[in-house]
Amino acid sequence: MRMRFLKSLIFVLVLALGPVLLAQRSGPAKGGPAAPAPKRDITGTWVRQPGDPSLSAIHSLTGVARGPGFVDMPPMTPYGQAKFEANKPGYGIRQQPEGNDPILRCIQQGVPRDIWGGGEFAQLPGKMVEFLGGTWRQIATDGRPLKVDPPEARYDTGVVMGVSIGRWEDDYTFLIETAGFDDKTWLSEEGLPHSEDMKVTERYTRVDHDTLILNATIDDPKTYTKVYKVIPVTLKLQPDRGARVPNFCNVDNENAFQDRIRSQAIKTPDANGNIK
């Protein structure tokens, strides 16, 4: 009887304390300085914080092309300049009424544009999975080399995310290398282009329990004359809230926004202040 009682008590304690212990592992530390970073573990949901210095002066959501004139971007090749001039952002300092940003047609932002705001990492045998809003990507960690299809064979929707491999550089830094893109997406909302030759390298360093620093480089010699180093992005660990709510895009909504708001904003009112 006594043994049965003890087993029941242990079972109740596990049920009661299990969620608390799990939250302590996956969520941010509560009060006081952050705990030390665990080794070789970036599991959890990481979000870029408001006011992060890597946010641009124009409030871009990326670490790319900060400030008027894009003064910190490497010079473009003639190919890159032509693509840049053809891109018409719907937002930001280069916004134009008839924007052709791929996301306005419900095309995924892709890598690297999708990664700047953070995501949720899950570590599995042989792979890391990152959930990014309405999409996700797999990062192979089984030691395979980075191997991609030639551009003419990149026909499926996975090309906007590229092909990724990852490994631990040390106990606290996880390295991701990605290539194998098409050239349909942008680096940022300002319309910065890239080619199929782009390679993105990300280094995620967990400096303490609650803080992850992303250092990224963009190597695309067809579009830019030198490698571009993105300003470091600071991500903070968030509580595990359970189910994730996917983001859905409806191209009809984007068209309606274009017709009713963006296009109307450039029309000149008549003498009575009416816009027709």
pLDDT at 180: 93
Query: What span, in angstroms and rounded, lies between the C-alpha atoms of 160 and 224?
Result: 19
pLDDT given for residue 59 in this prediction: 39
**Lowest-confidence pick of 3-17, 90-104, 173-187:** 3-17
pLDDT given for residue 157 in this prediction: 47
Domain ranges of the chain: 44-149+160-240
Helix ranges (DSSP H) in 88-183: none
Which pLDDT band holds residue 169 (cuts at 50, 70, 90)? very high
Residues 221, 224, 229, 230, Cα dihedral to 10°:
-130
Q: In angstroms, rounded to a whole number, what is the distance separating the alpha carbons of residues 84 and 87? A: 5
Task: Give the pLDDT of residue 209.
Answer: 96
Q: What's the pLDDT score for residue 28?
A: 66
**C-alpha torsion angle, residues 248, 192, 226, 116 (rounded to 10):** -30
**More confident position, 184 or 202:** 202
Whether the per-residue pLDDT at 96 is higher than 90: the answer is no
Of 1 and 94, the structure prediction assigns the larger pLDDT to 94
Summarize the confidence of residues 179-205 as an average pLDDT: 92
pLDDT, tens only, 194-222: 999 999 999 999 999 999 999 999 999 99
Is the predicted pLDDT of residue 9 greater than 50, yes or no? no
Say yes or no to pLDDT of 62 above 60. no
Mean pLDDT of 146-160: 74
Spell out the alpha helix ranges (H) of 68-226.
Answer: 78-86
For residues 252-259, give the mean pLDDT.
63
Residue type, 188: S
| Residue of higher predicted confidence among 264 and 213 | 213
Q: Closest Cα partner for 232 from 66, 69, 80, 92?
A: 66
pLDDT band at 260 (very low <50, low <70, confident <90, very high): low
For the chain, what is the mean pLDDT? 78
User: By mean pLDDT, which of 6-15, 63-72, 188-197, 238-247 is the weakest?
Assistant: 6-15
pLDDT at 22 over 80: no
- Which pLDDT belongs to residue 203? 97
